[in-house]
Structure 1
Amino acid sequence: MTYGVVLRPSAEADLGDIWDYTVGAWSEKQAEVYLTGLGQIFDRLAQFPEMARLRMEFTPPVRILPYQSHLIVYLAEGDLIDVIRVLHSRANWTTLLAE
């Protein structure tokens, strides 16, 4: 079974920030490569939604999957992957997830 993947506005904003930062720091080509890789991870999540462990310390419990320098924070409910945030691994993500 393949799940649907939905990005919350906060995750879409995160992807925009990742694009802007990567273009500024490296190049548009590198930004395309990085975001394409994130898209491939979203596709993999659609096939294997439980590939990241459930983090019970958050309310609601979420799954957090690392991808290079970022963490994909998502819920797997029913037949849907709900991507909440895509955060840099060095960010204070415990605080950001509490917001």
Structure 2
Amino acid sequence: MSLRLVYSPAALADLDQIWRYSAESWGEERADIYLGAIRDTLLLLSHNPGLARNAGDIRPGLMKYGAGSHVLYFRVRADAIVVTRILHSRMDAGRHL
């Protein structure tokens, strides 16, 4: 059984920004492929959230998992994965979460 994926407004904005930057840098097709890979990773996590690592040192209850050059930050609920942010791996997560 898989968990629902729920996106915070900030995570949705992150996805939009990632696509725009990728499209400007490498073209729309590559941006679509990259965003698809991020979404595939989230789908994988919805089936097996135990793959992620604890990020409780940043915020209590937070989990993280890498996807390309980005890190997915989320919380696991009884019936859903709540995606908090999707940040570039070079970003200071403590400042942005």
Question: What is the TM-score normalised by the length of structure 1?
Answer: 0.92
Q: Could you tell which deviates more after superposition, 12-21 or 44-53?
A: 44-53
Shift of 1:43: 0.8
Instruction: Give the % identical residues.
Output: 32
Shift of 1:68: 1.0
Shift of 1:45: 0.9
Residue ranges of structure 1 left out of the alignment (5+ in a row): none
Deviations 1:23-77 (A, max 9, x none): 1111000000001111111110110012112222133321110111000000011
Shift of 1:95: 1.0
AA of the residue aligned to 1:7: Y
CA distance in 1, matches of 2:42, 2:56: 22
Question: What is the TM-score normalised by the length of structure 2?
Answer: 0.94
CA distance in 1, matches of 2:4, 2:56: 23
Which secondary structure state, in structure 2, belongs to the residue aligned with residue 50 of structure 1? Answer: helix
Partner of 1:16: 16
